[in-house]
Structure 1
């Protein structure tokens, strides 16, 4: 059986092969374009895709033997899940391998942005020594932390900030108010979230419903001292509007680990010392990477054996 894996450095073909077993051949290939995927996976039964692998209806038509697209990660916004289902191709992801890592990274970005660590760091390294170099900073205790999506990562963030003395609100139409209340989180609508939140944590997947959800009008509603962090998906936040909001003083700082285009090219955020940018690295720890390969292999093994993979994506949900 032939498995094609993306050449993304996070995917270790040897480790994946060990988990899959000796009867499976793992071939590493470039998968950053539709043409590349069609060529690489034309005879494959399984495709292990990274975050930039486009799996469109046209790609699926060209890969007639394909039985599973196994995302080596959480997000599946580059996979046409509906088209896959129509062609009896299973789509899976790895939903929980890095929950703790992304939550920790989220808190790190929130604190770094709130405390102006990036600006202080650059000022000191340039020979400065001025507490005012960080701009206006507000006390953490008493601020309101708001979540866009209240899934596993947001829930872990909530646990990590316990003791910080922040108020907690969340917007998520798919989670009951009672369930949030049990965690000490108040369920609010999106407009109320923006009006009340001073620390905004964007943890939403990219769907038609969430694309550009945090846009120019959203930044206008947030407090001038608000901090915005996105560790969900880049397309949920309008990055041009974010840069404009920072420049206009409509919010005070931002931290991004995900971008609409990855890597981002010529982003207006590059020149801003009030924006902390990381390279889609929130998922990373050595432990998470090991869990990723084990789970991807389990999904592929199940699909190739004609069984239901444990992390099969429901094609009836509103995926992009």
Structure 2
């Protein structure tokens, strides 16, 4: 049985190191040579879960091009099953990642094959999705694909609603664990971008109608775990950040990993925070995901 099926995006990331992020209309010179790496939130989460020792299958699409060949080889080498990644008559997705020395990043994505993927492509994968212990999703594919994958899933459903966009209430009602950041939470709740404190974030989380907890990632401030009757803050691990690009993806994969082991949601969030903390100390997204032995045990 597959532990985790990831339904989501696969991209080629072109990472450009900068001294500072450009303002609108500004051109800045790179701080070092650019590098080409594997990416896409779906592929990042699949590789992160595989590195933690999970049996992982990827569902998505790449182009009929050299980039698609390269990406499939890259994630297959990490142990991710790629038989359910389709080849599309559109180019493989590309992401331009601008990252500063302190780990701050801005990302622009050309979706390509990721947005070609359609709900009908999931019909032959009904057994795969239904038998998986967990289905892990993001929002770099069409909303209808996310909704259909959630409908077909019979195990744990974990949704990382990134990038921010509305999610149908019927889909949210079938989500077991929702993992937004502050901005994504506000967008889902129909609220303006907010600096709300813990109580405000918890109120927004409870308004969404998920059938399980909401774990709000707060970057350097840690993560807020919200259930129907409790809320608690999981502090971030203190590390020297190099690149925060893949931290959220590692967090989601590690959260699902811990939940499959039977961890309580607060324990799972602590494990995910420790895994994400390792990621930010390394350059890249997919390449920075830690293996299980590299994640510190609880103090």
**Bin of the TM-score, shorter chain as denominator length:** 0.3 to 0.5
Structure number with greater Rg is 1
More strand by share: 2
TM-score by length of 2: 0.33
What is the TM-score of this pair, normalised by structure 1?
0.32
